[in-house]
Amino acid sequence: MARYRGPKNRIARKFGVNIFGRARNPLIHKPNPPGVHGARRRKKSDYGQQLEEKQKLKAVYGMLSEKQLIRYYKKASKKGSATQNLLIYLECRLDVVLYRLKMAPTIFSAQQLVAHGHVTVNRKKVDCRSFQVAPGMKVSIKEKSINMKQIQNSVQDSSREVPEYLSLDPKKVEGELLNLPEVDQVSHPLMINLPVICDFLAHTT
């Protein structure tokens, strides 16, 4: 599966938030969005606003591809609330669970740890970052990788909290998905309107 290798700072500047949680905040020295500084922006159309919401969602979850997002939406819309189901599919991705458990400092670091074989699910190595973690599954770092500096620093980062639908044992560097997340249990670095995104996808897919 292809990994996003584009300019992350530019994406963060576009939305005006350090969206990827990187230690080096790209907004400190360049607070304006990409483009001519000080230029007035026209009011976005409804389509433009819907498109921007979708772009924000894709960015927050590690620059998902359009194909991935559409696939998740189609699965989410088959039964029940498409908004709730879409959030569940995204939050239960292995790379996202790893990041939420504080085992990686950024979503991109989480993707790299999974791809390089440092992560196990129920004691078995899983190197597919889109793997869906189910309630009761235990996610951990392989024993030989536990002492990696970025992992230890991330687990001990007191500025981040583990969501209530997850549990973490920082000594073992092991976590568990306790239950499927609810919409109000998930926080993003910027406001994302999931119902608008689902409505947009319903009319464009």
d(CA 43, CA 3): 33
Say whether pLDDT at 194 is over 90. Answer: yes
Instruction: Report pLDDT for 28.
Output: 45
Mean pLDDT value of segment 94-123: 96
Which of 168, 188, 187 shows the shortest CA–CA distance to 178?
168
Write the single-letter amino acid at 53. Answer: E
Instruction: Report pLDDT for 11.
Output: 59
d(CA 63, CA 55): 8
**pLDDT tens sequence across 19-56:** 666 555 555 455 555 555 555 556 778 888 889 899 99
- Of 4-8, 49-53, 120-124, the least confident: 4-8
Instruction: Report pLDDT for 49.
Output: 86
Count Cβ atoms below 10 Å from residue 58 Cβ, excluding itself: 19
pTM: 0.83
d(CA 163, CA 70): 26
Mean pLDDT value of segment 3-23: 59
d(CA 152, CA 3): 24
Contact predicate 182/38, CB 8 Å: no
Mean pLDDT value of segment 8-23: 59
User: From residue 81, how far is each of 11, 93, 164, 195 by CA, in Å?
Assistant: 30, 19, 21, 10
Instruction: Report pLDDT for 99.
Output: 97
